[in-house]
Amino acid sequence: MGFILPLYKMSPQEHLERIGYDAMLYFYFQRSVIGFLGVCLIFGLAVLPVNYWGGKGMTGFLSTTVANVTDPSLYWVHAAVTVLFSIWLYIFLWYLRGYALNSHDLLLERYRSVKSAVSVHSIWIRNFPRYVDVVGCCS
């Protein structure tokens, strides 16, 4: 687990040089999703007390849902959290889009500067046969 903190401290250029473009995008996506879910947790915790002490006195899981709320004047909390969550989701997706576009430009810049790298000229081979008979080999 000692590799996580240095990954957070590296710049996108260092990520590209050390772990490659695909790993850089995956790491950024993973880091963004962790942050996004953290904010979602805060939104959920903001609504939970309203649902739990809503008034119907339900037990178990139902006591944490909107079904437990009896006073219609408390529905504004759910509406406000929905609006805030929608705004947060829009900002998050816009930020993720911007990072993807910037990292693509970074990748193109790197490929233009390093023309002879093996990774630039690599190919992907699919459906390679398991047994290949090469004449004069291994007889």
Q: Which amino acid is at 131?
A: Y
Residue with tokens 């995008």: 25
Q: How many Cα atoms within 13 Å fall on the side-chain side of residue 70?
A: 6
pLDDT value at position 94? 87
pLDDT value at position 128? 65
pLDDT confidence tier of residue 133, bands split at 50, 70 and 90: low
C-alpha distances (whole Å) from 79 to each of 28, 34, 136 are 31, 25, 75
Residue 69, helix vs strand vs coil: strand
Q: Which amino acid is at 120?
A: V
Segment 63-116, tens digit of pLDDT:
888 888 888 888 888 899 999 999 988 988 888 887 777 777 776 776 666 554
- Segment 119-138 shows an average pLDDT of 60
Residue 34 pLDDT > 60: yes
pTM for the model stands at 0.58
Tokens representing residue 54 in the block: 């809503």
pLDDT value at position 95? 83
pLDDT confidence tier of residue 137, bands split at 50, 70 and 90: low
Mean pLDDT highest for which of 24-28, 91-95, 132-136? 91-95
Sort residue 57 into left (φ over 0), alpha (ψ -120 to 50) or beta: left
Tokens representing residue 113 in the block: 């500067």
